[in-house]
Amino acid sequence: MLVSINPADGTELARYPLHTAQDVEDALAGAATAQAAWRQVPILERVGLLRRMASVLRANKSTYSRMITEEMGKPLVEAEGEIEKCAWNCDFYADEAPVFLADEIIASSASHSAVVFDPLGVVLAIMPWNYPFWQFFRFAAPALAAGNGAILKHANNVPRCALAIEEVMREAGCPKGLFRTLLIEPGSVAGLIADDRIAAVTLTGSTEVGAIVAAQAGKALKKQVLELGGSDPFIVLADADVEAAAAMAVKARYVNVGQSCVNAKRFIVDKAVADSFVEALCRHAAALRMGDPLQQGVSIGPMARANLRATLHDQVERSVTAGATLRMGGQIVEGPGFYYPATVLDNVTPEMAAFREETFGPVAAIIRVDGPDEAIRLANDTEFGLGAALWTGDVEKAQRLARRIDAGAVFINGMVASDPRLPFGGIKRSGYGRELGSYGIREFVNLKTLWVGPVKAA
């Protein structure tokens, strides 16, 4: 039984029975059969499904956004933005998938040679709770456009959202069986990965879970795309616009209550401007309103689960004990719900938990440095490599420095965010593979060489 809990007050929303072994078998068999037919549908017809998905999402935005907020706690305005972004992603791939997957003609000794992009089959999507709709639709739109099928194993604390996604697909006219949500325990995932009817796996989640899934998929010799943890640096150099950087830093750290792999987490600031940056950051953070995420004007809702809050608070306490300065926040909010205030830790050093570990919640760690070289060195001093932000008044210098940062994306004078038009993913223990853009749609295809003789005359 899966239980849906409202993190704002700890009350139970609903209970859902787990799918049985026979349910799983029926889903796999149905997906394999449906995908075999779907791959034969011309791509210009396949993308019609994506347009209908976008329409269903927009038509039901108020319902689905409220569901997201009630089940995992993000402010309602952010949940509404999540649904709209899902629809945008569907529209983007409806427009661009035929271009991205067009045959690529390559000159060779053959009379005709090309690379063609065939679907792999049914892809298992193991998705997290922090963006319960977006994480799925950013994968599903390109995967389905490419001719694949999909099975969703969602995080067990968002079963309402998982079943609602199935409702979206059904209302959009997805062919029967091509997509299914499975409510199963994590221990059942290995059997899915090993099943011959699963062609590939995509996971967004923790580094620890990613390593387990990678091992299971590797044993079965199946393609994987892994988007895992992050401890993104937000570098502020001495010549940066400090006020603008601090205002954006608050959004970059506290959006989604700080529960995102690409939230800025380590604020690496030149000592020449560190005092003014910390003052501005705390001022902007103090203006954030914490409370019921369904209320307008609330910027900080509850964290998604009590254990996540406990882990975060332990990281804060260990960092303070090690010498970090608590500038604001840092105390568990008493009463119902899993609330934790916007928190700022100053004078953080590399041996502290707030630097070395991923802090998945509303805690900003300030690291003071002497110049850009030390800033880059400390930015790279992490096992993660997802995103990074770099703030400076010299954009040409920033582009040179960006090449030295170990990350899947570097945003100059902005905050890291995913965009359907641009590839998204990380390196090191933040995972591998890419989602979004032209690169993302080609992750779950067979890049097939097509060679036609006779050989051209010399």
Question: For residue 110, what is the DSSP state?
Answer: S
In whole angstroms, give the CA distance from residue 387 to residue 263: 9
Catalytic residue among 261, 282, 358, 435: 261
**Angle (nearest 5°) at CA 445 between 443 and 449:** 120
What type of residue sits at position 83?
I
Q: Which of 366, 369, 372, 365 is nearest to 390 (CA)?
A: 372
How far lies 40's CA from each of 36, 128, 418, 438, 458, in Å? Answer: 7, 31, 31, 21, 37
Contact between 111 and 140 under an 8 Å Cβ cutoff? The reply is no
**Structure token pair of residue 329:** 């926040």
Contact between 425 and 435 under an 8 Å Cβ cutoff? The reply is yes
Active site residue 86: no
Active site residue 71: no
DSSP annotation string for 173-191: TPPTTSEEE----GGGHHH
In whole angstroms, give the CA distance from residue 219 to residue 216: 5
Instruction: Please classify residue 218 by burial: count the beta carbons closer than 10 Å to its beta carbon, then call 0-12 exposed, 13-18 middle and 19+ buried.
Output: exposed
| Coil/strand/helix, residue 348 | coil
What type of residue sits at position 125?
A
Count of C-beta atoms within a 10 Å radius of residue 440: 24
Q: Which of 187, 106, 131 is nearest to 435 (CA)?
A: 131
Radius of gyration of the chain (CA): 23
Catalytic residue among 70, 78, 227, 358: 227
- Report CA dihedral (365, 368, 373, 376) to the nearest 10 degrees: 0
- Residue whose entry in the numeric block shows the structure tokens 């608590």: 326
Could you list the active site residues?
227, 261
